Amino acid sequence: MPIKANWNYPTAIRFGAGRIAELPEALKAVGIKKPLLVTDAGLAALPVTQNTLKLLRDAGIEVGLFADVKPNPVSANVNAGVEVLRRGGHDGVIAFGGGSGLDVGKVIAFMAGQTRPMWDFEDIGDWWTRADPKRILPIIAVPTTAGTGSEVGRAGVITDETTHTKKVIFHPLMMPKIVIADPELTVGMPRFITVGTGFDALAHCLEAYCAPGYHPLADGIGVEGIRLVLENLPKVVANPNDIEARGHLMSAAAMGATAFQKGLGAIHALSHPVGALYDTHHGMTNAVFMPYVLVVNRPAIEAKIARLAAYCGLPASFEAFLAAVVELRRALGVPNTLAEFKVDGARRELIGDMAIVDPTAGGNPIELTRERALEVFDRAMAGRL
């Protein structure tokens, strides 16, 4: 892959195939001498992780490993990681993997020096100012999926086990100092994860673009991210070794997380409670909800979606873009209904209650009332556009 670049928006990103080799130098650049590599349990034993640990040890770096991280991380994962970090005397974190490893790694680095409970730093108002910024450890992020974009974010999503709700822990200094975005690290992903994370990136870009408010920078980033996913996700599924297409998807993931500073919406507001209650894959849950949310939001976004369709090389209409999303789902094997994820209607009312208070609900282009949330849920259960 010939394309390489150094980016500084929103943080320093070292993008390009093979750049994982720069990890030892990146650690030195941010002053980390004894890192803790945080990843999820499924990734820890795979070659991509073991090769990275060997790279560091061959460079004379004493690195620890923490991998007690669930696909939908819970507070116990963070607490256990903080204990490992403190006990090992680590002075920084390598957040490594998909969204779960990246989020937990960032929150561990954040919480390592704090004395207040983690939930005191939920992304509500100015709660982040409660933290002691001098005790937040530096973070280097290494994504191994192309989806969440958490590598360029200032927050981590953690599930509160007591209430089964996903909460956003936020602080500006949770932004990684350096990101190593090496598309070669994504080659070994299972097809299901490739598709799910790709749709997560698409949902981030799409909801940011549709969110109300004036933010043309986010709009522009979101629109190009959408185009990159539509063009490259089918290529990667067809040929998992297409490094250039994987690079474009990795870019789109970072673009989505950059754009959604503008807001998200009903896709995420419904996906979060469903994921917390049924432990479904976040990106695939977003993929299921996507067309149904588009239909319900249509009165507020039809003109914007028509412009988006034209940019993506489709007929300039809402119908054309909706059809493209539905066809992409079908072609890549995304379930058409929540029922195919073994989601039932038993917790329908609770999901409606949880969706309207989710932090992402406020970014929906029309008010996400309980009635609207349940309408989307019912459509997604029945497969009714």
pLDDT in tens, 186-220: 998 899 999 999 999 999 999 999 999 889 999 99
Same domain, yes or no: 128 and 228:
no
The total number of structural domains that make up the chain: 2
pLDDT in tens, 263-306: 999 999 999 999 999 999 999 999 999 999 999 999 999 999 99
Final residue belonging to a domain, choices 158, 185, 212: 185
- Residue 176's pLDDT band (cuts 50, 70, 90): very high
Q: What is the C-alpha radius of gyration for the chain, rounded to an integer number of angstroms?
A: 20
Same domain, yes or no: 174 and 194:
no
Same domain, yes or no: 35 and 159:
yes
Dist. CA 156–CA 150, nearest whole Å: 8
Final residue belonging to a domain, choices 185, 205, 221: 185
Indicate whether 163 pLDDT > 70: yes
Same domain, yes or no: 244 and 161:
no
Indicate whether 133 pLDDT > 70: yes
Same domain, yes or no: 256 and 309:
yes
Same domain, yes or no: 69 and 157:
yes
pLDDT in tens, 221-273: 999 999 999 999 999 999 999 999 999 999 999 999 999 989 999 999 999 99
Residues 6+ apart with CB under 8 A from 95: 38, 101, 102, 103, 104, 105, 106, 109, 139, 140, 141, 142, 150, 151, 176
| The overall pTM is greater than 0.85 | yes
Final residue belonging to a domain, choices 120, 152, 185: 185
Q: What is the CATH number of the domain that holds 181?
A: 3.40.50.1970
Same domain, yes or no: 167 and 236:
no
- Residue 165's pLDDT band (cuts 50, 70, 90): confident
Q: Which domain holds residue 310?
A: 190-382
Q: What's residue 8's pLDDT?
A: 62
Same domain, yes or no: 135 and 284:
no
Q: What is the CATH number of the domain that holds 316?
A: 1.20.1090.10
Same domain, yes or no: 203 and 170:
no
Same domain, yes or no: 230 and 345:
yes
**N- to C-terminal Cα separation, the chain:** 40
Same domain, yes or no: 88 and 117:
yes
